[in-house]
Structure 1
């Protein structure tokens, strides 16, 4: 623990010196990061220095070599070109326009998914388009693939599903039900792209989802699209805008919970949990607590806690977001205290089970307990192997391995190499 605290202070001093040499204020750097000034102040004081996502952003903004902050080499995400990188720094509209003008060109299933998000005539159907009830089943099946972390199969499934839905809407223009299903398919695409750290094309998917959600006129579908929109905003550092978007939308949906359908309540609850993520990422403790309190209230009336549910919102998911928020604030002890009861609870949704152990690994890493963090990651892998291979988790593994300078955990380094991210 003492060694971890000493390392945190060293990292804080590196950040402070880089900022001072560039004659930049804490407020200026915080604005570039999309955080409150207090976040930079805490980092320079040696608090919260185990938030590797934050440290990587600081390294980019201040031009600090990653290894000076104890970071490993960043694992490759999806191939991207300068236009895609530029989209990461744009607002919602500008990002969407850039994506349309210059889409990335990765190979295989990923390229097919991006192509299905682009405007233009719907691809000609090679078979009769299923009727709406069957299409609804197909969309539900795609959602299950996401919840069970079958990302490879989902990426192969979505282009055809989107094409069928667009074809069906072309044959039945004005169908609000089909627009709602297509919006959900686009939402799922955006969520998958975020898992892959392809933020530029996630913007594109969100734009399509919002347009179809508005056409559907369904408040549940619209709330779900807003939730994904807020997720992309927060991932791109626009946390204040994400919080405002969630707050405004949630205010339109709250009240009379005992008279609402489970779908309605689940959509509202998941939207509030997205507010928790955005607020904690933005170092806003007050807003984080407000969103958590409201989500707990909604969870009194609904619990959809299984992979085949329309949405997995439940008291368990609320508690999981409490763990994630504590990790974001650098409160590793609180995070682990909140996580321990969940570790003994059966969590039916594999994506949520994996999230619990990944967040626990982050908390252990913040405490310098690399062996415990490694064990948590192995449990997460047993829950959802494909989820462990997404860029954000591989980055965590690389940084943990980089911090084990004495090679006291050979199994951690073997795990890192197996994921293709040696320190």
Structure 2
């Protein structure tokens, strides 16, 4: 791990030297990239180097040879194979995790085992002989509950064994293959979601590929919609929002309608997929698509009446309104976001991840308005809702940005909070 950290430091030094040779300030480079100066500062310090797309942008802005940043040469970065890129830069990813880790946020020790469970060929030895379908369903529901309650450490240690048991059952029970493929797809979707929480986009792509293959094998439209949702999520993270909207729209054309005759699971899967499209559209500034997808999601939500903390509870009328808040923030409409958030702040939201997400969006809105004290208080509430979720790289980056903007240290607690999250400005 020490060698990996040294490599990350070397990478940051390459960026710093290139910037100095070009006689450009951190603020100037950050402006060209569309980020805050603190992001460039962290890169030069050897932190945040897991984002290969950002490093390609830095290389282009500063004229750095790709191989100097540990990047495979590619005539078009947009067509680079994310999985191959990830393998090429495995040591840099490890370095980033090490640099961000703090005593109360240890690096995930089971990460390698999780990745191995996604690879083709013999995987982890099953926990016991081929299990019955009912027991496997319960195990998959259990990992979904771990995700929705933000129990990420326990989930990472559990899901490789679940995947191994599902694959073992599929090999020994051909009659149940469609059902088992559906369960495998759900397990792979959950793994992709966890990897995205860790900003491991390369391996998230691997998990999504496995999920889509199993979804097609299952022939279940519910599983297909859920897999498309996760695929769209990865596309958004990799800055392919327009493609994510296209995929959601195409799938929705096949699955939407006749909601009064659909099961609750069907409605939830389609609704969640539409909401992922909302996230994609708003992140790219497409207001028309955002309104269109939100309207369709609200139509689906008319037929869903409960907010239950189970495998399908993440879709409801409440969740549609939560995404309305998030979309407003992404579109830069901070005032509208806060207005939409106020009634939700007093509502019972049983899923910790969703509660935390609301308060993170509130913090983003306040931060857009320059109200750093209010943003900090919102983040403290989010931490009480889901302490592990608040330690996601995206949230740490926002906290670091807020701390960097508090130049006169008017909010000392914000700086302590930033350091505790492992994201000092």
Sort the TM-score into its range (normalised by shorter chain).
0.7 to 0.9
Q: Which residue of 2 aligns with 1:157?
A: 158
Separation in 2, partners of 1:119, 1:274: 28
Q: Which residue of 1 aligns with 2:113?
A: 112
Q: Contact 1:78/1:198 (CA < 8 Å) preserved in 2?
A: no
> Following superposition of structure 1 onto structure 2, how do residues 189-338 of structure 1 map, counting pairs within 5 Å?
189-338=191-340
**Stretch of structure 1 that moved more, 139-148 or 124-133:** 124-133
Q: Which residue of 2 aligns with 1:145?
A: 146
Q: Which residue of 1 aligns with 2:102?
A: none
Q: Which residue of 1 aligns with 2:385?
A: 383
Q: Which residue of 2 aligns with 1:39?
A: none
Q: Contact 2:126/2:161 (CA < 8 Å) preserved in 1?
A: no
Tell me the CA shift for residue 100 of structure 1: 7.2
Distance 1:99 1:73, change over 3 A: closer
Q: Which residue of 2 aligns with 1:95?
A: 82
Deviations 1:109-159 (CA, angstroms, capped at 9, x unpaired):
011101111111243335223211011001001001110001111111111
**Where do 5+ consecutive residues of structure 2 fail to align?**
1-18, 53-68, 95-107
Separation in 2, partners of 1:136, 1:312: 18
Separation in 2, partners of 1:226, 1:144: 20
User: Which SS does the other structure have where 1:201 is aligned?
Assistant: helix
Distance 1:396 1:65, change over 3 A: closer
Separation in 2, partners of 1:229, 1:148: 22
Q: Contact 1:139/1:161 (CA < 8 Å) preserved in 2?
A: yes
Separation in 1, partners of 2:344, 2:374: 17
Q: Which residue of 1 aligns with 2:406?
A: 404
Q: Which residue of 2 aligns with 1:14?
A: none
Deviations 1:295-345 (CA, angstroms, capped at 9, x unpaired):
001000014422224341001100011111111111100000000000011
**Stretch of structure 1 that moved more, 305-314 or 392-401:** 305-314
Q: Which residue of 2 aligns with 1:37?
A: none
Tell me the TM-score normalized by structure 2. Answer: 0.80
Separation in 2, partners of 1:347, 1:72: 37
Size of the aligned set, in residue pairs, is 367
Aligned alpha-carbon RMSD (Å): 2.9
Separation in 2, partners of 1:308, 1:218: 20
Separation in 1, partners of 2:424, 2:292: 40
Distance 1:361 1:386, change over 3 A: same
Q: Contact 1:71/1:402 (CA < 8 Å) preserved in 2?
A: no
**Stretch of structure 1 that moved more, 76-85 or 370-379:** 76-85
Distance 1:80 1:273, change over 3 A: closer
Whether 2:74 is the aligned partner of 1:73: answer: no
Separation in 1, partners of 2:358, 2:41: 23
Q: Which residue of 2 aligns with 1:374?
A: 376
Tell me the TM-score normalized by structure 1. Answer: 0.80
Separation in 2, partners of 1:61, 1:177: 50
Distance 1:145 1:276, change over 3 A: same
Distance 1:168 1:280, change over 3 A: same
Q: Which residue of 2 aligns with 1:46?
A: none
User: Which SS does the other structure have where 2:378 is aligned?
Assistant: helix
Separation in 1, partners of 2:172, 2:351: 36
Q: Contact 1:190/1:202 (CA < 8 Å) preserved in 2?
A: yes
Separation in 2, partners of 1:348, 1:64: 36
Q: Contact 1:99/1:204 (CA < 8 Å) preserved in 2?
A: no
Distance 1:101 1:220, change over 3 A: farther
Tell me the CA shift for residue 96 of structure 1: 4.3
Tell me the CA shift for residue 234 of structure 1: 1.2
Q: Contact 2:124/2:160 (CA < 8 Å) preserved in 1?
A: no
Separation in 1, partners of 2:281, 2:270: 17
Separation in 2, partners of 1:300, 1:201: 36
